[in-house]
A and B are shown apart, each in its own frame.
Chain A
Amino acid sequence: MTGGSLLPFGDALELWLTIVLIGLATYGFRLSFIHLFGRIDEVPARIKRPLRYVPPAVLAALVLPDLVTIRPSVAATLADERLIAGAVAGVIAWRTENVLATITGGMVTLWLFRFVVFA
């Protein structure tokens, strides 16, 4: 093993450790109130309020950098097959709320621009 913490996923052990830690934390969340019920009745409002914004904030922070890369000009930033495919998929997601339709529409648009339009 060559790396300290700056050379991530250098070995299988680190990968398994990642999986197990995420799994343990997730199981802890699942079990939390199911286990404690009777001792605590309600999630305190101070925790509940910010939790409401975790899904939109984190998902958007994960998605957008995969679709947009800021380039020197606006035209170069916009003429990106990933951004165009993402915009099409976003509209499909909004109109249908269907995961399969969103993936299909986005992938077909990506391929259309990658292999035909910008080829």
Chain B
Amino acid sequence: MTVDGDFTDGDIWAGVRDVSPLLLGIAPFALVAGIAAVDAGLGLAEAVGMSVIVFAGASQLAAIDLIGSNAPFAVVVGTAVVINLRVVMYSASIAPHFADYGRRFRAGLAYLLTDQAYALSVAEYEANPERSRWRYYFGAAAALWVVWQIGTVVGVVVGAGVPDAWGLTFAVPLVFLALLVPAMKDRPTTAAGVAGGTIAVVAAGLPLNLGLLAGAVSGIAVGLLTEVYES
């Protein structure tokens, strides 16, 4: 694999260019993360700290949501971690493309791995095999990172100035909904969503947010069962 081709920095900009339509979708998501953080009692330092250290939207919102409803520590950490498990699949899928780079360099690239950076890069490597792997990925991933951090800060500032009656934190379930609908793309995944949501509503009164766990576990089980039944 050629690491330095003729079109060195052009590959970084190609990544930035290709990710820019997605940035429009990420920006409001980042704003909501900032707004919800303030509402849950986090300060600017904690909100930005979370966006830098975790840098994973859905899990951040889930953690903030649960912190706001005074869920126990283990529930907050456990939920956020489970949501990010999917990243293991991206890591496995993109790993062969980074195999020629040094260990430390790969460790740096891994920090920026997100749904969007993964999806764009793997599609581009397929379409344009001569692209510099790291440059294209870095362009897309770093642009996402910058927009995510700026959006969080703006959200914290905006969120602090809006009255509670407006219910801005309702944007959190709305963001989840926008992620949930495309995740239910066939019969087993739809069954998983319907079962997970229904059980979570019915079990909402259980202590320690056990309703969330019950919903998630039964949703996964129903998804697997539907898959077995279909085949």
Contact = CB atoms under 8 A, between A and B. Distances in A.
Interface of A: 5-6, 8-9, 12, 14-23, 25-27, 29-38, 42-43, 47-70, 82, 85-86, 89-90, 93-94, 97-100, 102-103, 106-107, 110-111, 114
B81 to A, nearest CB: 4
B224 A49 contact: yes
Given A22-B63, A57-B195, A60-B215, A43 B28 contact: no
Contact of B201 (A25, A43, A59, A65): A65
Given A15-B42, A54-B220, A62 B176 contact: yes
B153 interface: no
Given A26-B54, A53-B220, A103 B111 contact: no
B119 interface: no
B63 A18 contact: yes
A60 B197 contact: yes
Nearest to A115: B165
Given A34-B91, A63-B197, A85-B170, A56 B177 contact: no
Nearest to A56: B193
Interface residues on B, range: 35 or more
Interface string B46-82: 1001100111101100110101001111101101111
Interface of B: 24-29, 32, 41-42, 46, 49-50, 53-56, 58-59, 62-63, 65, 67, 70-74, 76-77, 79-96, 98-99, 103, 106-107, 109-111, 113, 165-168, 170-184, 188-190, 192-202, 204, 211-212, 214-220, 222-224, 227
B179 A55 contact: yes
A18 B76 contact: yes
A16 B95 CA distance: 31
A61 B196 contact: yes
Contact of B81 (A16, A26, A57): A26
A18 B86 CA distance: 20
Contacts of A63: 173, 176-177, 180, 197
Nearest to A100: B28
A42 B95 CA distance: 10
A92 B81 CA distance: 29
A81 B36 CA distance: 19
A48 B175 contact: no
A85 B167 CA distance: 12
A98 B72 CA distance: 33
A33 B110 CA distance: 10
A42 B92 contact: yes
Contacts of B172: 66
Contacts of B204: 65, 69-70
Nearest 9 pairs of A and B residues by beta carbon: A57-B219, A61-B215, A53-B223, A60-B197, A23-B53, A64-B197, A57-B196, A56-B193, A61-B200
A106 B81 CA distance: 27
A66 B173 contact: yes
A33 B180 contact: no
B112 to A, nearest CB: 8
